[in-house]
Structure 1
Amino acid sequence: ARYFRKHANKKHTAIDFGCGIGNGFHYLSPNFKSVLALDISQKCIDIAKEKPFTNITFERMDLTDPNLKLEPVDFVLCSNVAIFAEVEKNYDILRNVRNSLKKNGNAVFVVPSLESILFYAWRLVDWYKREGVGLSEIPKSELDYFSDDKRDIIQGIATIDGRRTKHYTHSEIQVIFEETGLEIMDIVRLEYDWKTEFNKPPKWMKAPYPWDWMIECKRP
């Protein structure tokens, strides 16, 4: 929330780049003059339209379209959108966000962390170990996040809720954001409770917690 307060300006415009069902609206709507909500899913847009905000307009768009044309704004939120297993689509999204910003305009991205999912796997193995279950005895279904295809692992692709999803390392973020013309100002952990990963995590399972990467950047 502090990043929205930092960039809040009632004279400025914003885009929710991949708005989904509108979970980001309560951050954007009160802090900006107007918000353009974009998503490829008409179903999600229809649900998002039911949110009680009056300064939001909606458009259905393919955010990976390399020919996407938008009126530049002051601020963009792009939360868990650049997560395609077809990684070139993610680069298209980053470039489209850059091109949707005015000069010195700011953006906040949220993307899944590869380090976090590896830490989750380590935590899972550790939990089994504490229960007296060896690594070779852990049900394979517990490790379904990870493909047998080494190319997926190298590219940070893990399966979440049946969908192959791109995850990022901290260092990778630094490289690809620079390559797509976005200047990083900050990269921080957006932490979640262990209940987001396990149905009934044991009481001893505390910090460090699983996390996504939140990236604050600007168009120079």
Structure 2
Amino acid sequence: MDRTYWNRMASCYEAEIFSVLQHDRASLIADKVRRYGKNTQTATDVGCGIGHFLPLLSERFRRILAVDLSAKNVSQAQARHARLPNVEYRAVDLAAPAVRLPKADFALCVNAAIAPSIAHRNRLLDVTCRHLRPGGHLVLVVPSLESTFLADFRLIEWNLRDGMKPGHAVRSGFRAHRPTGHPRAHEGVVPIDNVDTKHYLKEELVILLENRGLQTLEIEKVEYPWNTEFTAPPRWMQAPFPWDWLFVARKI
């Protein structure tokens, strides 16, 4: 999940990369941007991808800096949103040593801190949190580790309902760790579409933000339908639904 990976994904981003904005049925992220954003303030879209959130940010903030590891993603974002006059685009590796961002009042970070490397994630979080002004807000969205294990449980339950014997149901349902061949669940690293991806515990996020001088204000679940986890899930598979964690935190 490096620059080469994201540059390769740029040409098929819409088809291959899960759109949190599209699947956020309750519009929780948009609500947070509107609640905490002010048209006198500046914002940073950390890991902007091809710019899904830029129209939302543009209407709420005076100036936006859109940054992404992939220069190809940044080029696409700029082309797609050329009509937005208050957005600056920059390709930058936020996990590189000595990287700095201009100070901002608000940061939106949606599934950017998901690399399997703890060093990479820590540097990205350091830069993101450090560039916020005191009193500034971070809206952070990341995959939930708890949700991953809920999905595993649901798959085992599905297998049992289909008549599998318990041992077979468990082995067939243990999907989270099979593709990589090197289980890293103790780190919260489990694959999504065969790509090792960091998932987070709720308490883990509270500590990570606190250690970087941010106070957690809100914790919510961005819930998704079960067809984002399984092909043709059965009708009985309803709530609780899979989710990403959404955190709102304030720089102290």
TM-score by length of 2: 0.82
SS of equivalent residue, structure 1 residue 46: helix
Partner deviation per Cα, 1:42-68 (whole Å, 9 max, x = no partner): 111121112232221101100112411
Q: Is the 8 A contact 1:64 1:93 kept in 2?
A: yes
Is 1:187 the counterpart of 2:226? The answer is: no
Shift of 1:137: 2.5
Shift of 1:136: 3.1
Matched-pair identity in %: 35
Amino acid at match of 1:29: S
Partner deviation per Cα, 1:137-181 (whole Å, 9 max, x = no partner): 34967644215545x111111011121111111111111111122
Aligned to 2:58: 29
Q: Is the 8 A contact 2:156 2:172 kept in 1?
A: no
Residues 75 and 136 of structure 1, relative CA distance in 2, 3 Å threshold? same
Runs of 4+ in structure 1 off by over 4 angstroms are 138-142
Q: Is the 8 A contact 1:95 1:180 kept in 2?
A: yes
Partner deviation per Cα, 1:59-95 (whole Å, 9 max, x = no partner): 1100112411121011000110111111122121111
Q: Is the 8 A contact 2:217 2:249 kept in 1?
A: yes
1:40-189 equivalences under 5 Å are: 40-52=69-81, 53-138=84-169, 143-146=174-177, 149-150=182-183, 152-189=184-221
Residues 143 and 21 of structure 1, relative CA distance in 2, 3 Å threshold? farther
Q: What is the root-mean-square deviation of aligned Cα atoms in Å?
A: 1.7
Give the whole-Å Cα distance in 1 for the aligned partners of 2:97 and 2:210: 18
SS of equivalent residue, structure 1 residue 68: coil
Q: Is the 8 A contact 1:144 1:159 kept in 2?
A: no
Q: Is the 8 A contact 2:156 2:173 kept in 1?
A: no
Relative to its length, the structure with more strand (as a share) is 1
Aligned residues: 219
